Each structure stands twice: as C-alpha cells, then as structure tokens.
Amino acid sequence: MVYVIVVYDVQAERTYRFLNFLRKYLTHVQNSVFEGELTEGDVEEVKHTLESMLEADESVILYRMTSEKYVTRTVYGEDPAEDDQFL
C-alpha cells in the first residue's frame, strides 16, 4: 500500500468531476485535498485518469509516501477526515 495526498487546482465549474472521481478512492479532507492509502494499481489508475481529465491551466499534485507512518498530520480545528462527522 502507498499513502497518497492529492491536491488539485481546476476551474471552479469542473471541481465536481474531480471531487466525485477522487471520492471513489480517497478521503476528502478539504476543498481540493484528498488523502488515504491505495494499492500501486490504484495509484496508477488515479494518476492516468486525473491526467486525462485535466484541461489547459489546471493542475493536480500527487504526493506519495511508502507509509502513513512517515506523515505527521496535525489538524487545527475540526478534522474533516474524522468518521463521526459524516452521517
């Protein structure tokens, strides 16, 4: 498994496409930020799909770590990734 953080910057009217796609694989933690663990195969699928979705002047950044244990995550305020916040 690989721990990834995905950040995207796309035209406002197109954000829903990226949001809907990434929710299939990762946890939505802020407006254009997703994180979670993926298999290598899923990482490749996500990368290729996101690349194909991009238009001019848009970008996606995918950070990958070999494990979540190498990430120090500090949240100030309410953590949107907490399960008890979702109905």
Residue positions forming the annotated binding site for Mg(2+): 9
Q: How far apart are CA 69 and CA 71, in angstroms?
A: 5
Binding positions: 9
